[in-house]
Amino acid sequence: MIKLSMFQWVGLAIFFLGVFVIVPMMIVSTGRTDLFFTLTSVGLLAIASAGVWLTFYIGRINIGQGAFALLGAYVSAILVTKAGMSFWLSLPLAGLFAAFVAVLIGLPILRLRGVYFAMITLVLTQVFTLTALALPITNGAKGITSIPLPGAVSIFGLTLIPDFATLENPRQAFYFTTAILMVLTYAALYRIVNSRLGHLCRSMQQNEELASSIGVNISYIRILIFAISSFFGGIGGAMFGSIAQSVYPSSFQVADSVNFMLNCFLGGLGYVFGPMLGTLVLYFGWDLLFELGKYQMLVYSSLLIILMLFLPNGLLSLRMRKSGGQK
Amino acid sequence: MSALLEVRHVTKKFGGLIANNDISFDVKENEILSVIGPNGAGKSTLFKMISSFLPTTSGEVRYKGERISNLKPHVVARKGIVRTFQETTIFKSMTVRESIVVAQHLRAKASLAGYFWGSKTAHEDVESFGNYADDLIDFLGMAEIANEQASNLPQGNLRALGIAIGLATDPKVLLLDEPFAGMNHEETMRMVDLIRKVRDERGVTVLLVEHDMPAVMKISDRIVVLNFGEKIAEGTPLEIQNDERVIEAYLGSADDEIGM
Amino acid sequence: MTSGPGCGAGAAETFGRDRMEQILANGVYLGAQYAMIALGLTLIFALMNVLNFAHGQMYVLGGFVTYTIYGQLGLPFVLALMMSCATLFILGALIEKFLFAPVIKRSSRDESTMLLAAGLAFFFDAVILLLFGEKQRGVPKIVNGVFNWDFRLIMPYDRILICVLAILSIVSFILFMQYSKTGRALRALAQDRTAAQLMGVNVDRFSMIGFALGAMLAGLVGGLLVTITGVNLGMGGPTSIKAFMMVMIGGAGVISGAIWGGIILGFMEAFGLAYLAQYGDITYLLIFVSLMIFLAIRPQGLMGKPWG
């Protein structure tokens, strides 16, 4: 029942073709399978960034996504290594647990606005890193290592997902898994933004008092959005842990939280696909600058600053026709 | 006519400061009642308590016998008592129509999940929101600016937009926060007509808080006068005009609002 | 921004850690320097509503200027300190004029300045890395000897001197804000931008001065502390985080709040390190968690005005 214009259908078809057929084929034919890993990382970071973007949509600057990614990574790792659970079951559980924790933490902190919320979420990332260092179950600074690759899933003898460990190229399998998850995430995000929930979010973003005066239960929507956002963070983190087969307290830290935020800003906060584009550009931008050696950081940060100076409303603001967030 | 809204012994203290002291009055069904008073008389504090944007220190506000003070604002709105704001409080980056559509939140039948999956009820809702918005835009005579972004509207239209957003919720009681503030005579008279029309044609009971005496005299069925946080008079415009304490309060305040 | 607890401004070693006198003295010492860092951050926030992510990096930069002039070139410490202040003041002014002011003017959202500030933090990190490398740098002691009161309170003289200098700087900053013409204009600007403009305050000019002053304060603390803790590249990020916390404890944009925030964090750290040091990073975890609980109860901080 989703109405899209011809233009959007074509765009979508090209996107799917690119992600699921052309890019993998090109990678395999050129033999640069390391690119699978790079693109998988981009996809997972884009999933977590989607969550950050959603909290922006209710007018909250979220610099705490690293905390929920870390949480998701640990939950999945612990369930897989200590309880022997299948990764495929631990993945949604990691997301749900992150969402649950987000509800508990969100109840008090979502009352904060603007810079206050930004600062406290930043501190939250630090708290989670320190907690991971201190708790026995997370194994402190040593982290959790040698996490087995995702196992097979079969129903009635029919193998739906093969055991990643038996695959010739698990990276390719992770790439496809991530691509599917990313598509699902952004489809969900698009629906949220373009359905009633999104409209209510927009009303809250613009004026919380007025929103509550028309009967919007703003504290409920805030919690709901923060939980969904953290769910994305937890899923992204859990996948990362599985690919790296290890989780450390330093797997996601303050710098990562800041980067998630930057991805959203860079892509543009008014556009649903902004965070995806932002992640891609930032990640590859950073990679491309690798050649510059010790000047990598200098050039990268200068570019960021220049970009901000000339496109303060994000990359997608270059396009005149607005999509997504602006209906 | 029975009392629709009852204000009972409402008191508000900020620290040692008494903003409202033991204020009681009734708002009857389908009337236009104004609360007036010189600057600092405690009008806006009372207004916020009636709409539950501020808790009362003691006393309560009842709607159809049910307490509505000290609740969450959205709960009060859900019961049909909806407030407006002064002109700066709008959905800045929405068009007039979008604002009216979003403000029909309370009329939604489908759940948020229903909207997400695109259920049948949700589609019906969306259609009915659209129709209702068109009706309301016609009713308010805002067709020309319906697709204008709110931040681009001139000041004069913003107040009407605020009332449109309030009306979109289909309220029983509309609480208006200084609807005439900063308006010239002509604009004021247009707003007076609009508020009358809202009451007459949509059956909405109106409680407003206001400075502008001539407008209040013209529009109100009854008036409640506050001074220094106390209720000093209540009655028809004619009674109020001849009330000695009211005259004294307004003369004594040496304010520029002696419009009577 | 790199993270990692405990590598901030002055967490270093403590002396005679179980004596109450000692803990209190450490608290004062830590609190004074923290308050200075928080003051700069809160000033910038109050004036422009900018959360300066690069504040920690500015502090580190100040440290490196003093390191170069006093430690490397062997010039007098006072001169080095003044150079730290001057460098950061000029840098702050330039950053405000050519980066923040245009972005604030052109962006449709306030938040865009956060990206700019984060970009600046990365930029400073890169510059510091290129100029000074990753190694920890120290300078010769400015005064020798240790104050020792019967082994109840032990504190090296240089720490006492730095602490006194920090307190003097805070006092002069407050006096400056209270009584000077510039200070009054800045306060008017912080209170209400539009009203200040109507009153004839040159908003653009004083925004620049305010930002420069905030940056200068960061540079000054950096210059002071390099004599004790040394300075390294990794200090920036954690210092910013601590500064954010102090500002939140006290109430963002409030001068007295920043001072209280600094003192409270300083004492919490002094007590935490004294009693909880054997549990490793628990001190910081507890500080962070108690801060979050505090803010959940009192979102506006100690001195901030209630809102929302």
Q: What is the pLDDT of residues C210-219, one digit of tens each?
A: 999 999 999 9
Give me the pLDDT at residue C4, please: 38
Tell if the CB–CB gap between C114 and A118 is shorter than 8 Å: yes
The two structure tokens encoding residue A7 = 């233009």
Distance of CA C113 to the CA centre of its chain: 20
Give me the pLDDT at residue C219, please: 95
Residue A6 distance to chain C (closest CA, Å): 30
Residue pair B227/B41 in contact (Cβ under 8 Å)? The answer is yes
The two structure tokens encoding residue B257 = 């609002």
Neighbours of chain B (3+ CB pairs under 8 A): A
B108 at interface of A, judged by CB pairs closer than 8 A: yes
The two structure tokens encoding residue B83 = 């407030």
A133 at interface of C, judged by CB pairs closer than 8 A: yes
C277 at interface of A, judged by CB pairs closer than 8 A: no
For residue B59, what is the enclosing H or E element?
strand B58-63
- If you average pLDDT over each of A67-81, A154-168, A281-295, B181-195, which comes out highest? A67-81
Residue of A nearest to B93 (CA): A206
Give me the pLDDT at residue A146, please: 84
What digits encode the pLDDT tens for the residues C152-161? Answer: 777 888 888 9
> Counting Cβ atoms within 10 Å, is residue B181 exposed (0-12), middle (13-18) or buried (19+)?
middle
Region class of B207: left (phi > 0), else alpha (psi between -120 and 50), else beta? beta
Query: Which positions in chain C touch A125 (Cβ < 8 Å)?
Result: 3
The secondary structure of chain A, three-state, reads CCCCCHHHHHHHHHHHHHHHHHHHHHHHHHCCCHHHHHHHHHHHHHHHHHHHHHHHHCCCCCCCHHHHHHHHHHHHHHHHHHCCCCHHHHHHHHHHHHHHHHHHHHHHHCCCCHHHHHHHHHHHHHHHHHHHHHCCCCCHHHCECCCCCCCCEEECCEEEECCHHHCCCHHHHHHHHHHHHHHHHHHHHHHHHHCHHHHHHHHHHHCHHHHHHCCCCHHHHHHHHHHHHHHHHHHHHHHHHHHHCCECCCCCCHHHHHHHHHHHHHHCCCCCCHHHHHHHHHHHHHHHHHHHHHHHHHHHHHHHHHHHHHCCCCHHHHCCCCCCCCC
Distance between CA atoms of residues C85 and C62, nearest Å? 7
Residue of A nearest to B117 (CA): A191
Tell if the CB–CB gap between C245 and A304 is shorter than 8 Å: no
The two structure tokens encoding residue C48 = 């422009």
Give me the pLDDT at residue A2, please: 56
Give me the pLDDT at residue C9, please: 38
> What are the angstrom distances between the C-alpha of A251 and each of C88, C141, C296?
34, 38, 28
Give me the pLDDT at residue C87, please: 96
- Average pLDDT value over all residues in chain A: 87
Considering only the beta carbons, identify the residue of A209, A213, A218 that sits closest to B82.
Answer: A213
Least Cα distance to A214 among A228, A236, A196, A227 occurs for A196
Out of 3.40.50.300, 2.120.10.10, 3.30.70.3290, 3.40.640.10, which CATH number does the structure's domain B3-252 have?
A: 3.40.50.300
Tell if the CB–CB gap between A203 and B94 is shorter than 8 Å: yes
A 268-287 residues with CB below 8 A of C? 269
Per residue of chain B (260 residues), what is the pLDDT tens digit? Answer: 568 999 999 999 887 788 899 999 999 999 999 999 887 788 889 999 999 999 999 999 999 989 999 999 999 999 999 999 887 788 988 999 999 999 998 888 888 888 888 888 888 888 899 999 999 999 988 888 889 888 888 877 888 899 999 999 999 999 999 888 888 888 889 899 999 999 999 999 999 998 888 889 999 999 999 988 889 989 999 898 888 888 887 766 544 444 44
Least Cα distance to C211 among C28, C19, C50 occurs for C50
ipTM above 0.90, yes or no: no
Tell if the CB–CB gap between A258 and C296 is shorter than 8 Å: no
Distance between CA atoms of residues C39 and C218, nearest Å? 9
- The DSSP string of B99-149 is HHHHGGGGG--S-HHHHHHT-HHHHHHHHHHHHHHHHHHHHHT-GGGTTSB
Residue pair C227/C139 in contact (Cβ under 8 Å)? The answer is yes
Q: Where are the beta strands (DSSP E) in C81-223?
A: 146-149, 153-156
Query: Which positions in chain A touch B176 (Cβ < 8 Å)?
Result: none
Query: How many C-beta neighbours within 10 Å does residue A111 have?
Result: 15
Residue A175 distance to chain B (closest CA, Å): 28
Q: Any alpha helices (H) in C133-202, and if so which ranges?
A: 157-179, 181-191, 193-198
Residue A297 distance to chain C (closest CA, Å): 5
Per residue of chain C (308 residues), what is the pLDDT tens digit? Answer: 333 333 333 444 444 456 788 888 888 988 999 999 999 999 998 888 888 989 999 999 999 999 999 989 989 999 999 999 999 999 999 999 999 998 888 776 667 788 889 889 999 999 999 998 888 888 888 888 888 777 777 788 888 899 999 999 999 999 999 899 999 899 888 888 888 888 888 889 999 999 999 999 999 999 999 988 888 888 888 888 889 888 888 887 888 889 999 999 999 888 888 887 766 668 888 888 888 788 878 877 887 764 42
Residue A234 distance to chain C (closest CA, Å): 21
3-state secondary structure of C279: helix
Residue of C nearest to A209 (CA): C308
Domain edges within chain B: 3-252
Confidence grade of residue A153 (pLDDT, cut at 50, 70, 90): confident
Q: Where are the beta strands (DSSP E) in chain C?
A: 146-149, 153-156
Query: Which positions in chain A touch C109 (Cβ < 8 Å)?
Result: 269, 313
Domain edges within chain A: 1-32, 35-253
Mean pLDDT check: name the lowest of A32-46, A187-201, A286-300, C5-19. Answer: C5-19
Indicate the CATH number for domain C20-297. Answer: 1.10.3470
For residue C225, what is the enclosing H or E element?
helix C203-229
Residue pair A229/A117 in contact (Cβ under 8 Å)? The answer is no
A191 at interface of B, judged by CB pairs closer than 8 A: yes
Domain edges within chain C: 20-297
B2 at interface of A, judged by CB pairs closer than 8 A: no
C280 at interface of A, judged by CB pairs closer than 8 A: yes
Mean pLDDT throughout A147-162?
A: 80
Least Cα distance to B219 among B194, B243, B186, B202 occurs for B194
Query: Which positions in chain A touch C237 (Cβ < 8 Å)?
Result: 254-255
> Phi and psi at residue B82, in whole multiples of 5°?
-125, 135
Residue C275 distance to chain A (closest CA, Å): 16
Tell if the CB–CB gap between A294 and C119 is shorter than 8 Å: no
Output DSSP code: residue C306. P
Give me the pLDDT at residue A130, please: 87
Residue pair A115/C55 in contact (Cβ under 8 Å)? The answer is no
> Phi and psi at residue C9, in whole multiples of 5°?
-55, -60
3-state secondary structure of B188: helix
Tell if the CB–CB gap between B73 and A327 is shorter than 8 Å: no
Tell if the CB–CB gap between A213 and B106 is shorter than 8 Å: no
> Counting Cβ atoms within 10 Å, is residue A161 exposed (0-12), middle (13-18) or buried (19+)?
middle
Give me the pLDDT at residue C197, please: 84
Give me the pLDDT at residue B18, please: 87
The two structure tokens encoding residue A28 = 């395999």
Residue pair C170/C35 in contact (Cβ under 8 Å)? The answer is yes
Least Cα distance to C55 among C29, C80, C27, C34 occurs for C34
Residue A81 distance to chain C (closest CA, Å): 26
Distance of CA C17 to the CA centre of its chain: 25
Query: How many C-beta neighbours within 10 Å does residue C170 have?
Result: 20
Mean pLDDT throughout A91-95?
A: 96
C139 at interface of A, judged by CB pairs closer than 8 A: no
Residue A191 distance to chain B (closest CA, Å): 6
The two structure tokens encoding residue C153 = 């309170």
- If you average pLDDT over each of A5-14, A15-24, B87-96, C259-268, which comes out highest? C259-268
Tell if the CB–CB gap between A266 and C106 is shorter than 8 Å: no
